[in-house]
Amino acid sequence: MSTTDEAERREYYRIEDRIALEITPLSGVDSTPPEASPLFSLLSELHLSEFESQHLLRQLGDANRGLSGFLKAQNKRIDVLSQVLAHMLMGTLSDPQPVVISEAGLDFQHPARYAPGTQLDLKMAFPPQALGMMLRARVVHCDALADGNFAIGVEFEGSTDAQRQLLARYVLQKQAMERRQALDQALDAV
């Protein structure tokens, strides 16, 4: 990896996490994604639309508190439904596995080898928040490990601004939660 690539990789916060992951390689000739599960597509769209509408809800809250309160209650109902949907879908994906994630990409271990440059469709579910995302990625590196698996690094491609911002928010929230837990543990030890 070139120095420029290394510098670009480091501009994003990254966290270690455990997510459910489904990987589908795209053929070289036809990069059309395979048909996604309608429920997973719905979950992904619910999260994106909720994220995209947050600023509108805040603006509306300043102008009409009653309508804002009603819409927040409706938003809560939709969140509960999306959590139920996510928990149903978690059974169709792999068990959560350790990954390193940022808004730019993902590092994970996998039993299959993918050559650098291979395009992948990724379905990711982030427990317990019940966040579901579908993203396209390109393999940046694939290194053999002693246990027969491969350490794979991918870079997300074609992500929308909303998807990148949603990932960035998730990473920052997870990082803040880990810092709070570490501080609580340090205070408990004293």
Per-residue pLDDT tens for 18-67?
Answer: 988 889 998 754 455 455 566 666 766 776 777 777 777 777 777 788 88
Q: Is residue 105 part of a domain?
A: yes
Pick the most confident of 9-13, 48-52, 140-144: 140-144
pLDDT computed for residue 2 by the predictor: 42
Confidence of residue 3 (pLDDT cuts 50, 70, 90): very low
Question: Domain limits at 46?
Answer: 13-26+36-189
Whether residue 13 is predicted with pLDDT greater than 50 in this model: the reply is yes
Position of tokens 């491969």?
A: 150
- Token readout for 179 is 């810092």
Which stretch of 8-12, 59-63, 84-88 has the lowest confidence by average pLDDT?
A: 8-12
What's the number of domains the chain is made of?
1
CB 151 within 8 A of CB 143: yes
Confidence of residue 120 (pLDDT cuts 50, 70, 90): very high
135: domain CATH number is: 2.40.10.220
Q: Is residue 80 part of a domain?
A: yes
Among left, alpha and beta (phi > 0; psi -120 to 50; other), residue 183 is alpha
Give dist(CA 46, CA 126) in Å, integer. Answer: 14
Q: Distances from the Cα of 84 to the Cαs of 15, 87, 132, 189, in angstroms?
A: 26, 5, 12, 37
